[in-house]
Structure 1
């Protein structure tokens, strides 16, 4: 790193600016790539939310890290699912805790 800085300081200003602009451009592309990867990796992503919205009203089994929740899907939010269990209790399930969702696909 120090070698690169020494080299930059020995170069003429115009060349230094070109190198810094190229570095900035590469960093910008990398940030865009990482933001896209994060958006894709976030659960539930938009495609998953759309699929879950299509099955609102269906009975499902949700496996969490430490338990299983069974019931009817009532609502889908960005960070949780609302389920009505067999005793008609409404349960908010944080999506960060979900390992899997099982339901009967209609069709």
Structure 2
């Protein structure tokens, strides 16, 4: 809110040219801040692009997935933006929401 307050509280006694320069500088700073926040959000989202890429390389391997409530084990079948699909020892396909995942361990099988 401080930036918006600053943007709209430019003293009227300043020449128009100076007020425009202040507004342009403020807009530039705001744009940089938005870019920074978007990058931080993309990095904080699980799984981010790097994590999805690493998981795609281990499709077909046995994993142990630690969730908030319990542990799931099985072969990784697919990686989506918001879930992982595994097949457990009883050949059941299970979708695990990534929001529930605490950690993933790669097992030898």
Whether TM exceeds 0.5 here: the answer is yes
Aligned-partner Cα distance in 1 for 2:11–2:72:
59
Unaligned runs of 5+ in 2: none
State whether structure 2 residue 68 is matched by structure 1 residue 45: no
TM-superposed CA distance for 1:8, in Å, is 2.3
Deviations 1:52-74 (A, max 9, x none): 11111111110111111111101
**Match in the other structure for 1:57:** 60
**Match in the other structure for 2:94:** 91
Aligned-partner Cα distance in 1 for 2:54–2:102:
17
Q: For 1:101, which of 80, 100, 104 is the aligned residue?
A: 104
State whether structure 2 residue 82 is matched by structure 1 residue 79: yes
The TM-score normalised by the length of structure 2 is: 0.87
The CA RMSD over aligned residues, in Å, is: 1.8
Aligned length, in residue pairs: 104
State whether structure 2 residue 43 is matched by structure 1 residue 36: no
